[in-house]
Chains A and B, each alone.
Chain A
Amino acid sequence: AQSVTQPDIHITVSEGASLELRCNYSYGATPYLFWYVQSPGQGLQLLLKYFSGDTLVQGIKGFEAEFKRSQSSFNLRKPSVHWSDAAEYFCAVGDTGGFKTIFGAGTRLFVKA
């Protein structure tokens, strides 16, 4: 069965610094991968997704993610973090055995001035 691991429960970065959030998945074939963001008190919003093709995908709000099959990873990056990026970030994989998406436990991002 597919699974998703986000090793970092929370991360703190300074405003203007670069960001990388880690995500590892377990799946035999090419996975369908997603990153969602949840701002405080809000529902989740899609940042980006990967199905096939170019392994570097661009998303909204200046985020990008790189799919690395050899490492079973789909890490999220942003070159310069803004205070408004403080939120919880969820990596997810599509469950090809059904109609579902499996979410990781999330990484909470704190941004310090």
Chain B
Amino acid sequence: NAGVTQTPKFRVLKTGQSMTLLCAQDMNHEYMYWYRQDPGMGLRLIHYSVGEGTTAKGEVPDGYNVSRLKKQNFLLGLESAAPSQTSVYFCASSPSSGGYTDTQYFGPGTRLTVL
């Protein structure tokens, strides 16, 4: 049981490049989330999903897109990377009993640098 895994762990992009971050969970959780973590700002929600095939915007969605084609995977895409997207990205998942009451299980993070 691997829990929540994220690929890649580190990435350096040039401005304007695109990339996709992959999150996978093996706990059969319904809810999945993408956060970014910046110094002094805690975690801010980018997008989330309440089930396969559904996605919704969080607090800071601009510049990102997501897809949840399979229940176990949640992909975060950057179409045209900008230096302001330099951050540590965390994926999380939670069970189907109710999003805001659930414990969230976090992946180890992806450190992204945009030059």
Binding site for B on A (CB under 8 A): 9, 32, 34, 36, 41-46, 49, 51, 90, 94-96, 98-101, 103-106
Contacts and interface: CB of A to CB of B under 8 A. Distances in A.
B74 interface: no
A33 to B, nearest CB: 10
B53 interface: no
B4 interface: yes
A44 B40 contact: no
B33 to A, nearest CB: 8
A55 to B, nearest CB: 17
A103 B43 contact: yes
Contacts of A49: 103
A106 B100 contact: no
A98 B40 CA distance: 25
A105 B101 contact: no
Given A34-B103, A99-B56, A99-B100, 7 more contacts: A32-B101, A42-B109, A43-B109, A90-B42, A95-B100, A104-B42, A105-B40
B105 to A, nearest CB: 8
Given A44-B104, A105-B40, A105-B42, A99 B99 contact: yes
Contacts of B109: 41-43
Nearest to A100: B45
Contact of A43 (B58, B90, B98): B90
